[in-house]
DNA sequence: CAAACACTTAAGCAATCACTTGACTATCGT
DNA sequence: ACGATAGTCAAGTGATTGCTTAAGTGTTTG
């Protein structure tokens, strides 16, 4: 198995399209073939393949071809990497707000 | 305050660029002006403005102009929305793996 | 008031995205 | 072997991105 070191760029880029998110949503329920991913999508198969390529580039999905069917599955580790990045910024902001609140409570001023 | 109903498309799109993530990172430490955001970025001010516009379109950042300086701040609620979407897919996948593990432990077969 | 400051708008350009259609390549089932 | 199935490659098109430079618009500040 090839190791993967996907960039946040490609991960978020991969999630920034409704067709691709719908594919991820489907895959979160279990592995699927390319045609299964395509079925609900109202676009040509090659279009789906291109979306799939972006999901793989972002490391979010891996696939393996057996016989004539390619089976795709989600990579939860990479998903949690994106999740962590967001979470860190958010909590840093919230910690800052807390410190600010403490300061304002201790002193005696008015905010904006 | 205007309510915001930003799409996941625009949120993830906004996070899919290193310059914009660096801006978010800076803003997670506290509000900043446009030039402050631009300073570490090795690109023209108009370029930074366009990135800022995408961050605002995604609802991730809000800004307010006072006098001649525009002050930007992060919107943690929208960030946590993106976080939640990822988290839901990931945990759904992991729950599935658990069920599968239980099944394999109990039975001794393979599914479909 | 005039110059400096902090943006802001507009226009342009190369690269990438999100598709398409058409042709092609391997299986698989009978 | 034959046709259907599942996917793949290639080329082309219009829209969007990520920048740029040049020329503004208001706001301070000396």
User: Between chains, do B18 and A8 touch, taking CB under 8 Å as contact?
Assistant: yes
Contacts of B24 (CB under 8 A, 6+ apart): A89, B15, B55, B60, B61, B74
- Tokens of residue B1, six digits: 């305050």
Answer for A43: CB within 7 Å of strand C.
yes
CB contact under 8 A, B16 and A13: yes
Q: Packing angle between helix B45-57 and helix B8-15, nearest 10 degrees?
A: 150
Look at residue B36 in the predicted model and tell me its pLDDT: 98
Q: Kindly indicate the confidence band of residue B66, based on its pLDDT and cuts at 50, 70 and 90.
A: very high
Region label for B11, one of left (φ > 0), alpha (ψ between -120 and 50) or beta (otherwise): alpha
What integer is the mean pLDDT of B75-104? Answer: 88
> How far from chain centre, in Å, is Cα A104?
38
Three-class DSSP category at A19: helix
Strand-strand pairing, B32-33 and B69-74: antiparallel
Joined together, the tokens standing for residue A6 give: 């996907």
Which structure tokens are listed for B47?
């370029």
Of the candidates A35, A34, A27, the residue with the CA atom closest to the CA atom of residue A52: A34
Quickly count: other Cβ atoms within 10 Å of residue A8's Cβ.
17
For residues B91-101, give the mean pLDDT: 83
Q: How far apart, in whole angstroms, are the C-alpha atoms of residue B74 and residue B62?
A: 6
6-65 on B, CB < 7 Å from strand D: 13, 16-17, 19, 43-44, 46-47, 50-51, 54
At CB < 8 Å, which residues of chain A contact B? 8-9, 12-13, 15-18, 21, 24-25, 27-30, 74, 76, 79-80, 82-83, 85-90, 92-94, 96
Average pLDDT of span A16-33: 98
Q: What is the pLDDT of residue A98?
A: 74
Pairing relationship of beta strands A69-74 and A61-66 according to DSSP bridges: antiparallel
Per-residue pLDDT at A52 exceeds 90? yes
Give the Cα separation of B103 and A10 in Å (integer).
35
pTM: 0.88
Q: Cβ contacts (< 8 Å) between A87 and chain B: which residues? A: 83
């Amino acid at each position: 198995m090839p190791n993967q070191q996907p960039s946040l760029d490609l991960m978020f880029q991969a999630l920034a399209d409704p067709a691709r998110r719908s594919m991820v949503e489907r895959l979160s329920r279990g592995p699927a073939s390319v045609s299964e991913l395509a079925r609900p999508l109202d676009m040509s198969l090659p279009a789906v393949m291109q979306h799939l390529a972006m999901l793989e580039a972002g490391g979010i999905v891996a696939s393996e071809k057996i016989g004539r069917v390619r089976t795709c599955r989600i990579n939860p580790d990479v998903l949690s990497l994106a999740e962590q990045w967001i979470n860190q910024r958010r909590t840093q902001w919230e910690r800052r707000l807390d410190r600010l609140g403490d300061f304002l409570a201790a002193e005696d001023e008015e905010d904006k």
